[in-house]
Structure formats: C-alpha cells, structure tokens
Amino acid sequence: MTPPLLELKNVTVDFDGFKAINDLSLTVPAGAMTVVIGPNGAGKSTMCDAIIGRVRPTGGRVLLRGEEIQQAAEHDVVARGICRKFQTPGVLSPLSVVDNLTLAAASDRRWWKSLTRRPDSAARARAEEILEMVGLADRRDALAGNLSHGEKQWLEIGMVVATDAELLLLDEPTAGMGAAESTRTAEIVKALVGKHSVLVIDHDIDFVSQLGGRVVVLHQGQLLREGSLAEIRADAEVAAIYLGRA
Amino acid sequence: MPRALPIKPAAGLVALILALAAPWLLSAYDLNLLGRFLALSLTAMGLVLLWGQGGVLSLGQGVFFGLGGYALAMHLKLADLGPTELPDFMVWSGVTALPWWWALFRSPWVAVLAVLAVAPALAALFAWAIFRRRIGGVYFALITQALALGFATLLISQQDKTGGFNGLTDYHTLFGFNLNRPATAIWLYYITVLFTLLAFAGLTWLLAGRFGKLLRASREGSNRLRFLGHDPVPYKVVAFTVAALLTSVSGALFTLHAGVVSPALVGVVPSIEMVIWVAIGGRVSVVGAIVGALLVNFAKDKISTALPELWLYGLGFLFIIAVTILPNGISGLFAKRAKDAGE
C-alpha cells in the first residue's frame, strides 16, 4: 500500500506546558485540496510550522510519503517537496517581483551555483509563466517591498508554486484582502489542485466555500471533525465552537 | 529603497584619470596619504558587501586588518636582517632565537600567502560556526567587537613576539626594493590603485549576479529563503570571508604606506571607525565605500592636524548626520537625486 502524501501521527507541540497542538493525527491525500479551519488559537499555524520544520514537535511523527521529516532542516523539507506560504506575506522585499519568482523556481539551490553567470533559463521561463498565473505580469520589475498587500500575497503564492513542491501549504492566503481579491485568490488556488496537493488554512467561511474540497476542523490543538463543507456546516458541535451558533 | 549610485561612466573615467595622474598632482606627503586611504577603502568595500548588502554588522574588522598588516610586517622586519639577526624588539625583550613561525616569514611569498589566506580561513570557520547557530544582529556585532578587543589585548601582551604596544615598524625592503625611495612610493601607490580597482570590479561582479540577489534576500528574509529551499548560511559565510580577504589585503597595503602596524589600528575603536566610513559613504554602494573611506580619512587628517581635540566630535557628528538624515550615506543622496530627477 502506498503511504499517503502527508501524514501526521499523534503530533504534539508543547510550548512550555501549553499544547498548541495535542496528539493530532491527520492525513493529506495527493493531488487534492484539503482545507483546515478552526477558531483563533486552534493550532492551525502551529500545525504548518511543525510540518515545515519551523517548530519541532515534542511528540509524534510527520511523514512525507512514509518518510519521517519532523527533524529535517527547513530547506531540506522544501527539497523533499513541501513549501509554505506564511500568514503575513514573506516576500523578498529587496528584490524585484520576477527575481523573487526566479529564486523560488531555481532548480539547483546549491550555493556555489550562485557564483556562475549561466542564466537559469528554466527558472526564468517558469517565473514568467507564474507572473501570468498570479496576475502580476505588469508588476514584473517592481520591487517586491513596494507591492500592495494583496499583490504581496499573490506573489508569495506564486513563489510557493514556483518551487514546484508537491504539497503547498497556504496559511491564510486571503488575510487582509477584500471580497474581490479573495475571489481572485480562490481561483488561483483552485487552479493548482491536481498538479499539486494543496493544504489551505483559513477561517473565512466564504473563501472556504469557494474553494470546495475536504474540510478539517481543528479545535484546541485537536482534530474535531472532517468531511465535506456541507457536512461540517450541518454539524452542531462545529457550529457551537466555531460558527458561534448553537 | 534607493538603489546604489548608478556608475556614470564619465564620472568613473574622470576619477580614474585623476587617480592615475595623482603622482604629478599631489605632494609626496599627500600621495602617501591617498595611497593609505585607498588601501583603507578595501576594508570599506568589504563592509559594503557584509553589512550593506548582507545585513551583517561586524564591529571586528580590525582583526582581519591586523592579520594582513602583521603578516606583511613580520616579513618586512626580517627582510632587513642577516640570517642570525633578530628583530630589534626581540633583542630588547631578551629573546635569543627566532620562533619557528616567525622564521617562515623570511620568505616574502609566505607573507603574501599569509595575507591572502589566514584572515579568510579564520573568518570562514568563525562565520560558519556562528551563522549555523543562527546568531545574528546585535549579538553577532557584540561577538565581533569582543574579538577585536581580545586580538588587540593579545598583541599588546605578547611583547616579545609581536612588538607589543608599539607594534612592528622601521622597515625598508620588500622583494629587494628600497621602500624609502620616491620611485618605490609611486609604484606602491599604483599597486594600491590596482588593488582598489580589482576589488571594485570583483565586488560589482559578485553583487550583480545571483549571489548578490540571494545575499540581499537573506538580509531581511532569512526565514523566507529557508522555506524556499535556499540555505542562507553559505551566502553570509562567503560574504564574511570575502570581506575578511579584502580587509586583510587592506591592512597589508596600509602597513606598506604607513610604515607601521600596531594594536592601535586593530582594536575596538578603529573597527568602529571602519563602520563609520561606510555609514557616511553609503553602506549599500561600493562606490560609496571608496568615497567614504577617502573623505572621512582626509577630513580626519586635516582636522586632527589643525585641532586635535576636535576630531572625535567631528566624527561623532558625521555619524549622527549619516544615521538620522542620510541612512544611505553620500551615495544615497546621489541615488535619491537621480531618482527625483527621473520622475
């Protein structure tokens, strides 16, 4: 039996006694969209941190295609095929938009390759493609630091895609966006599914319903429910703790 | 963010012609000063790479300056002596035999190799050990400052091996050339100009490519780089190592022009002064580094000759101006002007 793309097995992250995630088990299938929702403090971002090696789990295992990655170096996790977009956009502000994407798309990330002058034409071509995809073609040569908030979000989504990672973690890709921008973002994200597996974290239920896909509800660091959005919406317990309705 | 000063070919050409014509334009004294300060500009260029581009502030560049300066000076002390003679300060300290590691420096080539290899090798080891542990910012600056303090203290305490507080001075020959002849002084000046140009060209090349982009990206986005699959550590280590190489060569050239190397040139205060040249010239610009090193040091020479007690106030004032009004120094002023004019 092939192992699932990503599997969390009894993962606990303990911050000095506060268990941000507590004995969480979860699988993420290949080539599909998984949406994780939950109220603030449910442990959504910490779960992402544990997957990409930003925090180390105090217990449990994180498996990518059956291989343990919970102790791998951050850049190694990326090389193995997971890349994450952060909640606050983390673009490389001193560089131009196209350079941000080209560095992300670099096929060979060993440092001494940066000393050669041979242009990475595959990465350049990929960067141009992604500029179109995220709608930033006319901002190609702007400094990333000078983009608007929404543009930064799109650029970072583009950078994550450019790494060609199999699994993309998008942590609140619509944070700080208006309704129109959110809709545009949903279109961008939906177009990624299939070629990539996408794990989206959000708590904007409108955005989540635009995405479709399987929904996982976290609460107090644990898995509360998983199912289709309709099932989740119909669930009384979820409504009580999350949607604020009894 | 204002970009580095655009290198206008015309201004560059004028500067180059002036630099080449300087032996006819300046007195021997001023030519010597220009040579010294051009030598110092290599240190400043190293800081542009490390601090301005890579965001790593080192307050210990004096260590590498000293390693280069002392390596060459050790040879210079021995070059004037017969096979059984000892350097003057060793005789005064009662040393009877030359330590083996001193004896190696009888060969000028060992000295040249030491200038080019010792500081970069130590810098690479140090930087790798530190950056791998993700120590940065003010902690890194404090560690380097402690190194500068320790290095100067070590030099002073080992009087019989290093010449102590007075350092190494009073030497006359390099590769068989008499350093006191005016013709040699002019050649030394041109060699310094050549090194300045090489450093300038090398850094400009390095910063224009992918290495430069990754280094700039690591300045604010170390984490973002990591999570894009690039390990930022090697870029910082290389920047620190290249800066150490430039600073070591800078120290060696300065020693040749000044005729002395001493702990007073390598400790905490000179290390901070180096940062101030770059802050004033413009820390993101290689041209700014050269301008800053020349300007601040000529000002220092003129002001401290006329009013010795005023210089430190002047330097402090310049630094405050740079930090509060001109965060990108003099070159930032030009970059801003160019941008305003263009829009």
Q: What average pLDDT does this structure show over A165-187?
A: 88
**A74 and chain B: CB distance < 8 Å anywhere?**
yes
Q: Which residues of B touch A157 (CB under 8 A)?
A: none
pLDDT single digits (tens) B132-145: 888 888 899 999 99
Q: What percent of chain A has pLDDT over 70?
A: 97
pLDDT band at A244 (very low <50, low <70, confident <90, very high): low
- pLDDT at residue A1 in the model: 65
Q: What is the mean pLDDT of chain A?
A: 86
**A122 and chain B: CB distance < 8 Å anywhere?**
no
* Rg of chain A (C-alpha set): 18
**A105 and chain B: CB distance < 8 Å anywhere?**
no
Is pLDDT of A210 > 70? yes
Rounded to 5 degrees, φ, ψ at A144 are: -60, -35
- pLDDT at residue B341 in the model: 46
**A56 and chain B: CB distance < 8 Å anywhere?**
no
- pLDDT at residue A235 in the model: 84
Q: Which residues of B touch A89 (CB under 8 A)?
A: none
- Show Cβ contacts of residue A61 under 8 Å, excluding neighbours closer than 6 positions: A8, A9, A10, A11, A68, A70
Among chain A residues, the shortest Cα distance to B132 is held by A73
Among chain A residues, the shortest Cα distance to B2 is held by A94
pLDDT single digits (tens) B79-129: 888 788 888 888 888 888 889 898 899 889 999 999 999 999 999 999 999
- pLDDT at residue B154 in the model: 93
Q: What average pLDDT does this structure show over B190-212?
A: 93
- pLDDT at residue B122 in the model: 96
Residue contact A95–B235, C-beta within 8 A: no
The model's pTM is: 0.87
- pLDDT at residue B322 in the model: 80
Which residue among A112, A116, A145 sits closest to B1, beta carbon to beta carbon?
A145
Candidates B1, B3, B210, partner chain A, best to mutate (most A CBs within 10 A): B210
Rounded to the nearest angstrom, the minimum Cα separation between A233 and chain B is 34
- pLDDT at residue A242 in the model: 67
Residue contact A103–B230, C-beta within 8 A: yes
pLDDT band at B343 (very low <50, low <70, confident <90, very high): very low
Q: Which residues of B touch A73 (CB under 8 A)?
A: 231
> Starting at the edge strand that comes first in sequence, how are the strands of the sheet with A214-219 ordered?
A82-85, A167-171, A197-201, A33-37, A214-219, A222-227
Among chain B residues, the shortest Cα distance to A157 is held by B228
Which residue among A103, A113, A115 sits closest to B213, beta carbon to beta carbon?
A103
Q: What average pLDDT does this structure show over B144-164?
A: 91
Structure tokens of B54? 């890579």
From chain A residues 33-52, the ones with a CB under 8 A of any chain B CB are 52
Which of A108-117, B161-170, B234-243 is modeled with the greatest confidence?
B234-243
Query: How far is residue A10 from each of residues A59, A71, B65, measured CA to CA in Å?
Result: 7, 15, 55
User: CA A31 to CA A6: how far, in whole Å?
Assistant: 11
pLDDT band at B342 (very low <50, low <70, confident <90, very high): very low
Q: What is the mean pLDDT of chain B?
A: 87
| Stretch among A14-28, A101-115, A202-216, B263-277 having the lowest mean pLDDT | A101-115
Q: Which residues of B touch A115 (CB under 8 A)?
A: 206, 209-211
- Show Cβ contacts of residue B127 under 8 Å, excluding neighbours closer than 6 positions: B236, B237, B240, B241
pLDDT single digits (tens) B211-263: 998 999 888 777 788 888 888 899 999 999 999 999 999 999 999 999 899 99
**B220 and chain A: CB distance < 8 Å anywhere?**
yes
Contact assessment for residue B80 and residue B332, using Cβ atoms and an 8 Å cutoff: no
From chain B residues 171-210, the ones with a CB under 8 A of any chain A CB are 206, 209-210
Is pLDDT of A101 > 60? yes
DSSP string over B87-110: -HHHHHTT--S--HHHHGGGSHHH
Residue contact A83–B234, C-beta within 8 A: no
- Counting one residue from A and one from B, how many pairs have CB atoms under 8 Å apart? 85
Residue contact B221–A91, C-beta within 8 A: yes
- pLDDT at residue A108 in the model: 76
Exposed (0-12), middle (13-18) or buried (19+): which is B233, by Cβ within 10 Å?
Answer: buried
Structure tokens of B263? 């702990």
Q: Nearest Cα to B40, choosing from B195, B221, B168, B238?
A: B195
pLDDT single digits (tens) B11-31: 888 888 888 888 888 888 889
Structure tokens of B323? 């930090």
